[in-house]
Structures are given as C-alpha cells and as structure tokens.
Structure 1
Amino acid sequence: MNNDHLQLFVRVASTQNISLAGSELGLSPPVASMHLNKLEESLGVKLIHRTTRKVSLTEEGREFLPHAEEVLSAVDRAKASVGAGSFTPRGTIRVTAPSSFGRMHIVPALKGFVSEYPHLKVDLRQSDNIVDMVEGGFDIAIRNAALNDSSLVARKLASDTRIICASPDYIKQFGEPKTPQELQQHSCINLIGIEHWEFESDDGIQRIKPNSTIRIDNGESTRDACVDGAGITISSIWCCDKELREGKLVQVLKDYKLVNNSAIWAVYPSSRLIAPKVRAFIDYFVKRFGDTPYWERS
C-alpha cells in the first residue's frame, strides 16, 4: 500500500468529495481517482461508492478507515522520533469523558479545536463509567480519578477543587453548619460512591459520614438538587461556578478544606511515541484551561 493513497482515502472519507480531497493534496481529479483505484486493487475490495453526485464509503471502506488512519499516524510518529519533516495531526481522535465535564467543558471547545486542526475529526463518547480504553478503541480518556494502570500515561489538564455548598433558601430555612460534625444534623445530597466527606484539620483528617437523604450518580444533577434546596452537597467548582456567581449556591464550611487528591487528567495508552493527534488534543486543552482553570478565576 502507498501512504499517499491512504492519505487520499482518509481525506475522501472526510470530505466525501474526490475532487476536493485530491485538490487538498495537489492532485487532479483523474489522478486522485486513479490512486483510489490502485488502493482498491491492492486490497481486493471496493472502498468507495461513486455516483455522479457524491461518494460514500462502502462497509469495507468504513472498516478500513481507522486502520488507514493508524498507519498514517504511525508514520508521523516515526518521523517525529527523528525530527524528520513536518506533519499535520489528522484522522479521527476517539475520546471518552465523564458526562458532566464533557458536556460543560469539552463540548464547548470542540468547535475551536477542529477549526485549529481541520484534518482531525472527533469521536466523543460521554460516560461516567471507567471504560477500557483498548477494548473501546479510545485514544484519550478524560478522568478525574487516580491512575492505577501501568499501561496508561496521565497528563494533568486542570485542577479539580471541590467545595461544600448549599442554596441560600436551604440555609435560610435550616441554618448553616459551622463545623463538619454539624453536617450530620443536616440533609445532604451525595454522589453515589462517596460514602465519607473528609476534611483537613489541625488534629488530622476528619471523616464525616453525611446524612445522605438523596444519593445521585451525576454531578450536575447533584448540583441542581442542591440549587433546589434539597440539601447540602459536595461539588467541583468546574460544575458549580456559574451557580456560585449567580448566587444560586453559596460555599459553606469555608474554613474547613476538603481532602481532595483529584484532578482532571488526560489518559492515553503508554507508548514511546505519542500520536500527533493525541498531542494536539492534550496541548489544546492544557492551553484552554490554563494554570488556573477559567472556572476558578474570580
């Protein structure tokens, strides 16, 4: 197989136009068609349906596409290892992210990302479950949990500061706790999987088991229930900064810092050479979030 033929095929898959894809690579329409024919002949399968109006991938073409992208990515990584040539991140980058963080902070940035990298496509899957990256075929996973897999590499994207908060209406009706111990006298909204709230103190770590009248498996829903006055909760600032600014939530127990070892990480399979598309994605979001992420700036 010829790498130039693979590159053309990937661009045709993206543009669904042989003439346009060929033009991007400096090829006339007849030459572009000839290259695609040669690729199909070398594989012994038809990759593209051609009509007078448009082109589309065959089932075999759709199956072949991610492999073609990976071959081109491997060539770029090999060139990068010896500082040879210049290359542009391309292909499809497959990302998995937590539902709330993905919706609030990844999705709004995708327009800018694909504008900066027009040869890249993004396949984003949002789930609060920890997925198997290899089995799922993902290039990057956005996580806020500690890394416990030696086959993966983690790059910190942003801090994940968490606070205790309540709505003004709840405080007006039930009062504001002054110490962590007083939380046990209040209704609390808890994220499923977090059984204790831990606070730093001069006497060490204080572990409080909140009176969880409501338990939810989603951070945004937990926050919304708190805004509604259903109880006191823990929330990441990236999730509740808008409600704090608008006065729908207020921070309580400010003098008691939560024990928090979490951060927002970009996780990817361990490799001596990082794929250009993975590097582009990580660098873009590191720059976007900054040393102090925008949701923590006053």
Structure 2
Amino acid sequence: MNIEHLKLFVRIASTANISLAGRELNISPAVASAHIGKLEDTLGVRLIHRTTRKVSLTDEGKVFLPHAQEVLDSIETAQAAVGAGSQTPQGTLRVTAPASFGRMHLVPAINEFVSKYPKLNIDFRFSDSILDVVEGGFDVAIRDAELKDSNLHAKKLANDKRIIVASKGYVEKYGAPKNPQELKDHKIVNLTGLEVWDFKTAQGVNAIKTHSRLKMDNGEAVRDACIQGCGLSLTATWCSYSYLESGELVQVLKDHPLATDCALWAVYPTNRLLAPKVRAFIDFLAERFSGTPYWDARLTDIVS
C-alpha cells in the first residue's frame, strides 16, 4: 500500500476536494484522481463518492479514514524515534474542541504555536457536540467532560471553574437570589443539557432543577443573553472572565458554590508512542494553561 496514496486520501477527507488535496501535496488533479483509484483498487472498495460538485467519503471510506491516519502517525512516530527525517513536527494536525473555547482560547494562541513549527498545518473542528476522536480521524480533542472511553488517553490542561452570574442591570431590577431555593423565582438562561445545577452543602449535593426562560446550545450565546439581562446563568470562568472584569456580569450565590469537578482535557487515541505533532500541541497547551489559568488569575479579587 502506497503511503503517498494514504496521505492524499486523508487530505481529500479533510478538504472534500481532490484538486485541492492534490495541490497541497504538489500533484495535479489528474494524478490525484489516479492515485485514489489505485488505492481503491488495492483495497477492493470505493472510498469516495465523486460528483461534479463535491467529493464525500463512502461508508467504507469513513471506516478506513482513522486507520489510514493511524498508519501515517505511526510512520512519523517511528521516524522520530530513530532520528530519521525531520525532528520538527510536520504534516497536518487535526483537532476538535468546544466551539466557544476554541474561538476564545485556541485561536488567539495558534499563531504562536505554528510559528514554532512552520512545517505543521492545523485543521480545527470547533463544535459543541462531542465528536468521536477515532472515527473522525482526529489527532487530539479538547474536552471539558469526563473521559469515558477506555481507548483514549487524556492529559489535564486546567481546572474548569463554574459559577452563577447575572448582569448588573438584572440584579438592580430583580435582586439576587439569597440561596439556591430562590432560583425558582428568577429567570434562567441555560446551556442545553445543563438545566440541573448542583450545589455543595454540609449534607451533600443539593440538586436544583432550574426552569429555563431561554435555552441555547452555545456557551457564548448563553453568556451574551445573560449580559443582556435575560436571566441568571451558569457559566465557566474561561467563557465570562472579561465581562466579570468589566462589571457587565456579577457573580451571585457566592456563598453557595457549585458541586462541580470540571476540567479541561487534551484527549487522544491510545498509542504506545505519541506522534511528535500531537505531543508538541499538548505540551504547548499544558504550558499555556499551567497553574492558575490566566482567565482565573485575572479574577482573583472578583470571583470566590
């Protein structure tokens, strides 16, 4: 099986365009099409659907993609292990991350990272849905949820502090709840799936089922609706820190902390040897968010 054909297939899966994938690898559209045909002949299955408008993976192509990517990563890892080829991470790093966190904290950092590794390209997929790392052909996923898949490894990047907030105008108009039981008397803006708020008490966890005035599937949208005075919200400090600094948002129920043990993780497929590009990216983020992450450091005198 030709390694160059595998590289081309992986790029086609990412770009959904044979000509574009060929240009990235310095081959003509005709040669790229021929290479994919040879790969399909070798495997005895069709890997892609070709139409005049777009290219998409067949079911067999979707199954084959993570295996093709794993082969390429293994070759890169093997070369680095014996000192062959370039010691600089190179190729394409495929990353999935929550949409809000990616936009707010990965995009501002990425120029520094790619400047260190000029032979490395980044393919981001920002989504608030949890995308399958292996099936999606991702090298690494940034997640703020518990790791449940035993076929994945995870490295903790930072704590993910959650608090209850409201706009300054909302508090002036409606007041702030004095305890979690008073939440029933307030308007609530919720992130879809987080309608139950758990609070720490001396007797254990007190789970409060909130009644959403608004429900949204994006953390930044929830935060922005809260800023507009639509109601109270549960938010991560990494999402709302600048608005807490400016006073547009204020923390409420400070004496009633949430019972959360959230963290931000870098998740990656289980391998005996980690590909250099993956290790470089994870180490970069771990250093950037080490200790008290910068968003919490800026809130030391504001948030309890």
TM-score bracket for the superposition, by shorter chain length = 0.7 to 0.9
**Is the 2:69–2:137 Cα contact (8 Å) retained in structure 1?**
no
Change (3 A) 1:128 1:68: closer
Long gaps (5+) in structure 1 = 14-46, 50-54
* Matched residues, number: 253
* Cα distance per residue 1:225-276 (max 9 Å; x no partner): 0000000010000000010001100001111111112211111100111111
Partner of 2:44: none
Instruction: Determine if contact 1:69/1:92 at 8 Å carries over to the other structure.
Output: no
How far does the alpha carbon of each residue in 1:29-53 deviate from its partner, in whole angstroms, 9 at most, with x for none? xxxxxxxxxxxxxxxxxx967xxxx
- Partner Cα distance (1:211, 1:87) in 2: 55
**Per the alignment, do residues 169 and 73 of structure 1 end up closer, same or farther by CA in structure 2, a change over 3 Å counting?**
same
Structure 1 position 189 matched with structure 2 position 189:
yes
Instruction: Summarize the Cα distance change of 1:199–1:83 in structure 2 as closer, same or farther, 3 Å threshold.
Output: farther
Residue of structure 1 in register with 2:139 after alignment = 139
Q: TM-score, normalised by structure 1?
A: 0.77
TM-aligned CA distance change 1:210 to 1:176, over 3 Å: same
Q: Is the 8 A contact 1:76 1:87 kept in 2?
A: no
Match of 2:54?
none
The 1-side partners of 2:144 and 2:75 are apart by 32
Checking the alignment, whether the CA contact within 8 Å between 2:197 and 2:207 is kept in structure 1 is yes
| Helix, strand or coil at the partner of 2:255 | coil
Deviation at 1:296, TM superposition (A): 0.4
Change (3 A) 1:70 1:146: closer
Deviation per residue, 1:198-222 (Å, 9 max, x gap): 0001121111111311111110000
Give the aligned partner of residue 230 of structure 1: 230
Measure, in 2, the Cα distance between the counterparts of 1:128 and 1:59: 38
Could you tell me which residue of structure 2 aligns to residue 289 of structure 1?
289
SS at 1:134 equivalent: coil
Given the alignment of the two structures, is residue 252 of structure 1 paired with residue 252 of structure 2, yes or no? Answer: yes
Is the Cα contact below 8 Å between 2:160 and 2:236 reproduced in 1? yes
Secondary structure of 1:110's counterpart equals helix
Q: Is the 8 A contact 2:195 2:212 kept in 1?
A: no
TM-score by structure 2 length?
0.75
Against the structure 1 CA distance between its residues 69 and 176, is the aligned structure 2 distance closer, same or farther, given a 3 Å change threshold? closer
Tell me the amino acid that sits aligned with residue 96 of structure 1.
T
Q: Deviations over 1:15-66 (max 9, x none)?
A: xxxxxxxxxxxxxxxxxxxxxxxxxxxxxxxx967xxxxx5553654977x9
Where in structure 2 are the equivalents of 1:129-208 lying within 5 Å?
129-208=129-208
Q: Percent identity at matched positions?
A: 52
What CA distance in whole angstroms lies between the structure 2 residues aligned with 1:58 and 1:68?
A: 21
Rg larger in structure: 1
2:195/2:211 contact within 8 Å kept: no
Code of the aligned partner of 1:219:
G
Structure 2 distance, partners of 1:86, 1:167, is: 52
